[in-house]
Structure 1
Amino acid sequence: MATIRDVAKQAGVSVATVSRVINKLERVNPDTKQKVLDAIEKLNYKPNDVARSLYQRKSKMIALIVPDITNPYFPELARAVEDVANRSDYTFVLCNSDDSEQKERQYMQVLRQKQVDGFIVVTSTLAYEHIKDLNVPVVALDRIIDRKVPAVTVNNNDGAKTAVQHLLDIGCKRIAHISGPDDVDNAMQRKQGYLDVVSHYEWFEPGMVQNGDYHMDQSEQAMMKLLKAYPDIDGVFAGNDLMAVGALKALKKSGKKVPDEISVVGFDGISLGELTTPSITTVKQPIYKIGEQAARMLIDKINDPTTEQENVEYDVTFMERESTKRKEG
């Protein structure tokens, strides 16, 4: 296997000149540069990426940190980030934080030591003070960290209002909500959207909101509590599709027919929602598009640190499937 010294000898130049050509750090005489490139091609020389990253203090590597890789929403996001990274000749690293600040900060520390060029972060625990000294670009995805950190999100409040209004329009009279974590801003926005629509109805009670923590099992338990406390509810808005699946499980165990007796709407539009029985009516996020946008923003910032970036918010679309049904009469 050829070395950089072999290339220098073949081209009749110094090792330092070969390094400058490879790393594109300084202007090199065109004739000399061509000799080096010809020698690289003839010897089939492959630069050492590790050595280059140490020399340039760049690795052509970006990282995506997500809170829960078992939630199908995040692998769908990750696929988009990976595709953009590959097209831009970047290596992509996926990290699962379990929504732990300690793990998130540990990942960042370790990856910075490996010269990672930037981070895309889905977090509800990190603040600006945790990332301001990383000295690499950071883009927030799905959730906003700070106004100083560019973010890619969707209109959660309007999406939630659309979901609840649909339940009202098909004739639901008492609608409950299974919410996400209280410390996650998109979960709070979706809950607020629900409250904006129903809080003025006489039938509404605060207990009709139960926390499912964005997980299937917790959502199943929340649905059981709702059925026990409010046996006459006929509509449920779950803050994400995974919790909608948990609600379906609880309703099946309780002998409730969906959608004949109770209608269910989720949020996200993950592929899992198409595979359940019944398939889940949902507020669909452009998941691939927002992951793609975040990756492009990050790579643009890496390539040009002076780039000014603003938050990007996408609209959502309503997708009616089998878990909702118009009430007769």
Structure 2
Amino acid sequence: MTTIRDVAKHAKVSVATVSRVLNKKGYVSKEAEQAVLTSIKELKYRPNSVARTLYHKTSGMIGLVMPDITNPFFPELARAIEDVALTYGYTVVLCNTDEEVKKEKKYLEALKQKYVDGIILTTSSLSLHDYHQLDIPIVALDRVIDENIPSVVSNNKEGARSATDHLIGNGCEFIAHIRGPVGLAPSDDRFLGFKEVVEERGTANIVIEADFQIDRAETVTRELLKKHPTIDGIFASSDVTAAGVMKAAHSVGKRIPEDLKVVGFDGVPIGTMLVPSLTTVAQSIYEMGALSTRLLIKQIEKIPLDSYYYELPTNLVVRETTNQTEESHD
């Protein structure tokens, strides 16, 4: 295996000169630089990335911390983050926490020890002190952690308002909201948007909590429809939740959209695979991931940010679960 000493001997320069060429730091004459580069090529020398990481305390890696990779919303984000990171010369390390505090802490500590250059967080289970203590550039994606940590989110509240307005506009008189976990900012904002509209319009409503898992959503919706058979519209807090809602409706003999109209939230591909196809509030998922990556790289490279808060619009995509022929509304 070729070493840096072999390169120095072949190029007839010192090891320090080879190091300066590799690290692009310090003065090296043009002749010496060319000799080193020629020797590296001829000897097929590959720098020890681990040693370079330890020396520079950087790695060219970005940590991506996610709560649940099985939820199709998060792989969509990950794809955008990876695409943009690669164009800037960074690689992405994915960490799936399963929404467990201990697991998130363990991953963050491991990422810090590996000298990742920055972290994109789509979780927020730890305290603000824990995140600041990392002393690494951070971007919060799909949530707000602190005003001093850049955040990229969707306009969840306005998206929920459009979903609820759509159900009422299509004749729904008793609407249920299968909301996401209490205390999770996106699900809280969607709940608030729903409540604002039903209260403004005087529409009968009921709210029940579920997580973003299809089985849990199916279970709570089945119980809800048995207890309240006159529910004729459901706004689900995610597309995965909506899939569970549709399974529950089928199991109790409710036809969609004739007996029950359903709207989801996210705009992931699963919506077009369901039968009937799902009306949903689509987030700008790829744009969210891409923007968060650019913000992180700017921090890593010490480039000032124009803003620490970015809120992207949502779009109501109308499909068969609300029995409309039109394609979408902005």
TM-score, length basis structure 1: 0.94
CA offsets, 1:139-180, max 9 Å, x none? 101111111110111100000000011111111111110000
Contact 2:226 2:252 in 1 (8 A): no
Hey, what does 2:128 align to over in structure 1?
A: 128
Hey, what does 2:290 align to over in structure 1?
A: 292
Hey, what does 1:89 align to over in structure 2?
A: 89
Matches within 5 A, 1:150-161: 150-161=150-161
> Which runs of no fewer than 5 residues in structure 1 stay unpaired?
none
Shift of residue 308 of structure 1?
Answer: 5.8
CA separation in 2, counterparts of 1:306 and 1:274?
40
CA separation in 2, counterparts of 1:283 and 1:201?
20
CA separation in 2, counterparts of 1:304 and 1:203?
51
- Residue identity (%): 46
1:76 equivalent in alignment to 2:76: yes
Contact 1:124 1:183 in 2 (8 A): no
CA offsets, 1:308-329, max 9 Å, x none? 6521111011111111126xxx
> How many positions carry a matched residue from both structures?
324
Matches within 5 A, 1:179-218: 179-205=179-205, 208-218=206-216
Hey, what does 1:277 align to over in structure 2?
A: 275
Hey, what does 1:257 align to over in structure 2?
A: 255
Hey, what does 1:242 align to over in structure 2?
A: 240
> Which residue identity is paired with 1:3?
T
Hey, what does 1:2 align to over in structure 2?
A: 2
CA separation in 1, counterparts of 2:30 and 2:100?
52
Contact 2:62 2:92 in 1 (8 A): yes
> Which residue identity is paired with 1:282?
T
> Which runs of no fewer than 5 residues in structure 2 stay unpaired?
325-330
Range moving further from structure 2, 22-31 or 161-170: 22-31
Hey, what does 1:52 align to over in structure 2?
A: 52
Range moving further from structure 2, 161-170 or 77-86: 77-86
CA separation in 1, counterparts of 2:24 and 2:77?
33
3-state DSSP class of the match of 1:120? strand
Of 212, 218, 221, 1:220 maps to: 218
Contact 1:119 1:137 in 2 (8 A): yes
Greater than 6 Å deviation, 4+ residue runs: none
Shift of residue 49 of structure 1?
Answer: 0.9
Shift of residue 202 of structure 1?
Answer: 4.6
> Which residue identity is paired with 2:151?
A
TM-score, length basis structure 2: 0.94
Shift of residue 77 of structure 1?
Answer: 0.8
3-state DSSP class of the match of 2:69? coil
3-state DSSP class of the match of 1:165? helix
3-state DSSP class of the match of 1:145? coil
Range moving further from structure 2, 234-243 or 44-53: 44-53
Matches within 5 A, 1:135-150: 135-150=135-150
Q: Cα RMSD between the aligned structures?
A: 1.5
CA separation in 1, counterparts of 2:65 and 2:76?
13
Contact 1:126 1:145 in 2 (8 A): no
Range moving further from structure 2, 84-93 or 49-58: 84-93
Shift of residue 191 of structure 1?
Answer: 0.3
CA separation in 2, counterparts of 1:76 and 1:262?
29
- Cα distance 1:31–1:3, how it changes in 2: closer, same or farther (>3 A)? same
